[in-house]
Structure 1
Amino acid sequence: MIFVKLFSRLPFFFIHFLSYSISFFMGSILRYRRSQIMQNLKIAFPEKSHLERKKLLFQFYLNLTDVGFEAIKSYSMTREQMLKRFKITNPEKMEEHIKNNEPFLLLAGHITNWEWQLSGYASQLDFGFGGVYKPLSSKFTDTLMLDIRANFGGYPIPMAKTMREILVRMKRKKMFSFGLVADQSPPGYDKKREWVQFFGRETAFFSGPEIITQMTKMPVYYAHISRTKRGHYEGQIIPVFQAGEEYVKGSSQVTKKYAALLEKNIKESPADWLWSHNRWKYTRDEVENK
């Protein structure tokens, strides 16, 4: 852990130079999940040529290594440094909820620097901003990521305890907000999933956001992210479900809007999503007939 802390104090130009080197190694020598990435890119962008998708492939590796090294770098960053590098373009929406002591949920995706989303929002809120996470198998890596994600007042919440944490905090009637990266595929043949259109295919999403919205009726936003230049990002929250809006049980209305906003975000920076994940592993028939 000491080595990681020392590494995090290196200047950004060195961090990014190292990221270039590692991304080249991953793409050209290690060929990390190369076939899976190319397959996903073909599904999402059938109109692009093989050469265009190959260019996206190598840009993907660079974004992936940038995310990893910038996450470590944030370990030693001050709140002021994070505020300069992660700007929220419409903070007034959050300020309105804070003024009314109204909890809200942010749904993010594994796009651009998703690791800085928790830190970026936490650095600009004067109350604990919760980030839902799935515990990692490596104890060292899990502890490291928890420490990084707890920076600037953020607090990581295990996925299995999300609903309980929300209900406890709502009962206390104290201001809180949660961030949830909700674009990974539900594991195995678990039938608790929402099926919606995503890049022209019926795709399974976790049912968590629907369950939370149905039970709490709390406002839900999509956390859009874009890179303004290397190591600098902008966040924008876009309404998905608002207080007073009717929620129709079984409609997947939150997941549908989230998936559409995520797809739009990906199309704006197509190399920056986590294409190495096997997103279309199962079809609805395979799950329901298992």
Structure 2
Amino acid sequence: MKKALYKTLYFLAYGFWYLLALLPFPVLYLLSDGLYLLMSRVVKYRHKVIRKNLKSSFPEKTDEELCHIERKFHRWFCDYIVETLKLMTMSKKQLMERMTFTGTEELNRVLSEGKSAAVYLGHLGNWEWITSLPYWVDNALCCQLYHPLENEYFDRLFKFVRERHGALCIPMQESLRKIIQFGRSGKPLVVGYISDQTPFWWNIHHWIQFMNQETPVLTGAERIVKHTRQVFVYGDVTRTSRGHYNCEFRIIREETKGLPEYEITDLYFQELEKSIRNQPEIYLWSHNRWKRTRARFDEYFEEIDGKVHLREGKEMIY
């Protein structure tokens, strides 16, 4: 019964999404304007989290300046929602006009030498449109790591939309195995890593200073990159105008195998911070990025032989 319900909801969601995606951009942006008024003035979507994140990240800015960034964030975020909906029906031509890439000459050079590339990105701009990268690279297999949704039907729906333009989705728990498997296809890989999520307590092995705050970071991507000798590339995303983005590729390290531990992770967050400070309104401030603190971690957990354990007498926290 539950399975039949989920299946019905899947077809309803697919149909509704498809109908919305048929609307032209001017109409979708009118919907975005209405959504902006609702989210920023009526619902005040995640206002406390957004303001806390902004205040901690930009202590030098006045309240007026922070309010201005928050308003611009809400406008961008509403645009991001309708732009993601539109992805279901966007053509190759539309995407190549609206999501451009620069620095592809160097990326294609690396791929032509038979090397694979790790493209590090953040929740910046429209990361869903980055799935159009296969149109811009030569003779390579493009894929991206993602967290599957608990509902298999809705996971299938989002996966379908993300793979429409040729980029494959790899579940996080299968990442290394799939990357090695795809690497045997005879084509170099371009793997997209969005690595600015908050790690679970038991996955915290490294802390950095990021946006003026001590921050726990994920390091699994670095281990994959070094193990598979991928070239470390950063994708600097900017919003050039409404509904138009550019991603500039910069090769940070071409040889990664022997790099010191956490160097790739540290360099990635340094690049990401520069991007955020350049256009703070297009970063995902509504995510409670700094909810896990070092003091809380030290109180409840300890690392033994590279693994995080709950301290004796403590109950698990989430």
TM-score (structure 1 length as normaliser): 0.93
Change (3 A) 1:26 1:75: same
Change (3 A) 1:104 1:140: same
The alignment status of 1:195 with 2:207, answered yes or no, reads yes
Runs of 4 or more consecutive aligned structure 1 residues displaced over 3 Å after TM superposition: 125-128, 137-141
Structure 1: gaps of 5 or more residues: none
Distance 2:220 2:67 in 1: 34
Distance 2:187 2:231 in 1: 15
Q: Which moved more, 1:279-288 or 1:26-35?
A: 279-288
The alignment status of 1:266 with 2:276, answered yes or no, reads yes
Distance 1:244 1:112 in 2: 27
SS of equivalent to 1:151? coil
SS of equivalent to 1:217? coil
Contact 2:235-2:250 at 8 Å conserved across structures:
yes
- For residues 106-117 of structure 1, the aligned pairs below 5 Å read 106-117=119-130
AA partner of residue 79 (structure 2): D
Change (3 A) 1:204 1:268: same
Deviations 1:30-71 (A, max 9, x none): 111110100000011111111211121121112112111111
Distance 2:173 2:206 in 1: 18
TM-aligned CA deviation for residue 164 of structure 1: 1.1
SS of equivalent to 2:52? helix
- For residues 25-64 of structure 1, the aligned pairs below 5 Å read 25-64=38-77
The alignment status of 1:223 with 2:272, answered yes or no, reads no
SS of equivalent to 1:247? coil
- For residues 230-245 of structure 1, the aligned pairs below 5 Å read 230-243=242-255
Cross-structure match for 1:147: 160
Deviations 1:134-166 (A, max 9, x none): 112455543332111101111111111111111
Cross-structure match for 1:207: 219
Cross-structure match for 1:179: 192
- For residues 84-99 of structure 1, the aligned pairs below 5 Å read 84-99=97-112
SS of equivalent to 2:216? strand
Contact 1:223-1:235 at 8 Å conserved across structures:
yes
AA partner of residue 242 (structure 2): R
Distance 2:256 2:153 in 1: 44
Contact 1:118-1:179 at 8 Å conserved across structures:
no
Cα root mean square deviation, aligned: 1.7
AA partner of residue 233 (structure 1): Y
Cross-structure match for 2:25: 12
TM-aligned CA deviation for residue 173 of structure 1: 3.9
AA partner of residue 149 (structure 1): R
Contact 2:111-2:140 at 8 Å conserved across structures:
no
Deviations 1:115-144 (A, max 9, x none): 11223x133235431111111245554333
Structure 2: gaps of 5 or more residues: 1-13, 301-318
TM-score (structure 2 length as normaliser): 0.85
What count of residue pairs does the alignment treat as equivalent?
A: 286
Contact 1:59-1:271 at 8 Å conserved across structures:
yes
- For residues 247-258 of structure 1, the aligned pairs below 5 Å read 247-248=259-260, 250=261, 252-258=262-268
AA partner of residue 232 (structure 2): V
Cross-structure match for 2:305: none
Cross-structure match for 2:293: 283
Contact 1:209-1:254 at 8 Å conserved across structures:
no
TM-aligned CA deviation for residue 194 of structure 1: 2.6
SS of equivalent to 1:222? strand
Change (3 A) 1:193 1:116: farther
Distance 1:87 1:263 in 2: 21
Distance 2:205 2:91 in 1: 39
Distance 1:191 1:128 in 2: 29
